[in-house]
Amino acid sequence: MRHHAFVIEANMEKGVGIAERWLSSELKMESKGNSDVVVLRYGLLSVSDARRIADIAAQAPFEGQYKALIITAGRAYHEAQNALLKIFEEPPRGTYLFLVLPTLGGLLPTLRSRVVLLTSSERLPADAISEMAQKFIESSREKRSTMIKKLTSGKDEDDRRARRDEAIEIVNGIEVAAYAALRVKKYKASVELLSEISELRSHLYDRSAPVRMILEHLAIVVPKDLSVHT
């Protein structure tokens, strides 16, 4: 299974480089002098920018079988992200989309659920996974349950928000590991796990999200051999 829409957390030029290396590795598609690789740079991504992106994505490739849009932005209006939902969910056949942002904190859950996190091929996948997420992946179910209890025991709203952020960090790490396993070890279960993460993520950013239930579900479905250290 090859994904068609990605998000990259990096500065502009580094993010473009990560996308270009993926295109070269996975599609044998070189970016230099290739009119089918379009790089769009924005400071603040607006609704009109998003509509232009959709129009460009709808165009057929000029030369080859594939077309790629690498979209970089310092920030993206929520309305602009909403305008990108349809094209990111159902791009034209053979079209690949990459959204590069310096931080994923402002990414809407609805858009986040439609993309796969792509990390640099220049470093081990473990470098993109927090220590907490790696510990969760490698732990037994009993130890995972202990971690979950700590993560869902906030005393006040600020504490609960911080705990929710830690939970999101774990989910992000699991996603990176699952994608790495899918690509490097061809771990078939990763496809199902990535699908589940997309579904769970749509709920996780809600202030009233059932964080404990989400993490308990992941504690059951995430295998220990998903670890990138294995």
* H-helix or E-strand spanning residue 67: strand 67-76
In angstroms, how far apart are the furthest CA atoms of the chain? Answer: 59
19's CB contacts (< 8 A; 6+ apart) are 6, 8, 68, 70, 98, 100, 118
C-beta separation of 60 from 30 below 8 A: no
Locate tokens 């749509």: which residue? 202
**Tens of pLDDT along 67-109?**
999 999 998 999 999 999 999 988 898 999 999 998 777 788 7
Q: Could you tell me which residues are beta bridge partners of residue 9?
A: 101
Give the number of other Cβ atoms within 10 Å of residue 145's Cβ.
Answer: 13
Length of the chain: 230
Place 223 in a pLDDT band, splitting at 50, 70 and 90: confident
pLDDT of residue 123: 44
Locate tokens 């995972």: which residue? 144
pLDDT of residue 11: 87
**Tens of pLDDT along 133-176?**
888 989 998 999 999 988 877 677 777 777 777 777 788 778 77
CATH classification number, 1-122, choose in 3.90.79.10, 3.90.400.10, 3.40.50.300, 3.30.70.890? 3.40.50.300
Place 131 in a pLDDT band, splitting at 50, 70 and 90: confident
Give residue 202's identity as a one-letter amino acid code.
S
Q: Is the dihedral of CA 46, 115, 145, 211 positive or negative?
A: positive
208's CB contacts (< 8 A; 6+ apart) are none
Locate tokens 């699991």: which residue? 174
pTM of the predicted model as reported, rounded to 2 decimal places: 0.58
Domain ranges of the chain: 1-122, 125-230
- Say which residue, 166 or 9, is predicted with more confidence: 9
